[in-house]
């Protein structure tokens, strides 16, 4: 592992260990969630991010307009 870690672009021995563990799980030699299963789990979370962002924008807009309605009018 030390020889592999010495190559540029590889951070540490732990990085290589993680890659090996992931490869073992994907090959079925080690228990755990495969890369495909992990990706399936993350997909709905990513899909929920956009509606959450839109809701935050709508909440901010509604608060802004509600504050505008509460202000006294300058017209006489």
pTM: 0.46
Comparing 76 with 3, which gets the higher pLDDT? 3
Nearest to 10 by CA among 38, 18, 34, 24: 18
76, pLDDT greater than 60: no
Report the distance separating Cα 11 and Cα 8, nearest Å: 8
pLDDT, tens digit (0-9, with 9 covering 90-100), for 22-55: 999 999 999 998 999 888 887 777 778 888 999 9
Q: Which residue intervals of the chain are DSSP H helices?
A: 2-5, 13-27, 35-70
Locate the domains of the chain by residue range.
Answer: 1-32, 34-70
């Amino acid at each position: 592992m030390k020889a592999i870690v010495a190559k540029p672009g590889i951070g540490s021995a732990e990085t290589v260990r993680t890659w090996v563990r992931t490869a073992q799980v994907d090959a079925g030699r080690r228990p755990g969630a495969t890369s495909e299963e992990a990706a399936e789990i993350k997909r709905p979370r990513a899909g929920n991010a956009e509606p959450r962002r839109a809701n935050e924008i709508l909440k901010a807009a509604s608060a802004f307009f509600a504050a505008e309605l509460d202000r006294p009018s300058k017209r006489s």
